[in-house]
Structure 1
Amino acid sequence: MAALLSDAEITAALADLDGWERDGDAIVRTAELPCFRAAIAVVDRVAEDAEDRDHHPDIDIRWRTLTFRLSTHSEGGLTGKDTALAKKIDSRVEEAR
């Protein structure tokens, strides 16, 4: 079980994340990649990272635009699992640019 983050912890975490915003019990980021193949490559890498962590984001793919949504559903909100995976997603997006 992962502990839910407080509002102050979420605000602090978002300050260190690139382009993430809070949306209720989730954090969301949209990233535009150079092309469709680059976007799919990011999705593939994030899928591997998610499997390694047993923590899976919702991902919306629109041509070269990806939207990631993170929440720890089993806990009913945001936990450190979400912010850790968000940081990894940020690094994957930057690698692809």
Structure 2
Amino acid sequence: MPQPRLTDDQRRAALAELPQWTMAEGREALQRRFTFRNFNEAFGFMARAALTAEKMDHHPEWSNVYKTVDVVLATHDAGGLTELDLKLARAMDRIAATMGA
């Protein structure tokens, strides 16, 4: 059974808590660009984030070009944002912070 989608108030509170994340244009999803010093750090972030996401059984939409990683989070089976997305966003922020992003 899918997790419940966040209400408008919950989304606003989440964005206040996650200031580097924004709502994706045209959809109910969070997005953020992570910038690292080089490709090795960006790829290392993706590897660590992938392990975390797999443990959560929640997988981001993301892309990597050189030292940047663009991430979009939404719970597809719920049709929008859920607490699971916020949990993964927080985890990605913690991982990035340990890697100098």
Mind listing any 5+ residue stretches in structure 2 that lack a counterpart? none
Partner of 1:78: 81
Counterparts of 1:2-81 in structure 2, within 5 Å, are 2-23=3-24, 24-81=27-84
Runs of 4+ in 1 over 3 A off after TM superposition: none
Distance in 1 separating the partners of 2:16 and 2:48: 24
Between the two proteins, the alignment pairs up a number of residues equal to 97
Distance in 1 separating the partners of 2:95 and 2:61: 16
Shift in Å at residue 18 of structure 1? 3.9
Shift in Å at residue 93 of structure 1? 0.8
Instruction: Tell me the TM-score normalized by structure 1.
Output: 0.97
* RMSD value, Cα: 0.8
Distance in 2 separating the partners of 1:7 and 1:66: 27
Mind listing any 5+ residue stretches in structure 1 that lack a counterpart? none
Instruction: Tell me the TM-score normalized by structure 2.
Output: 0.93
Identity %: 33
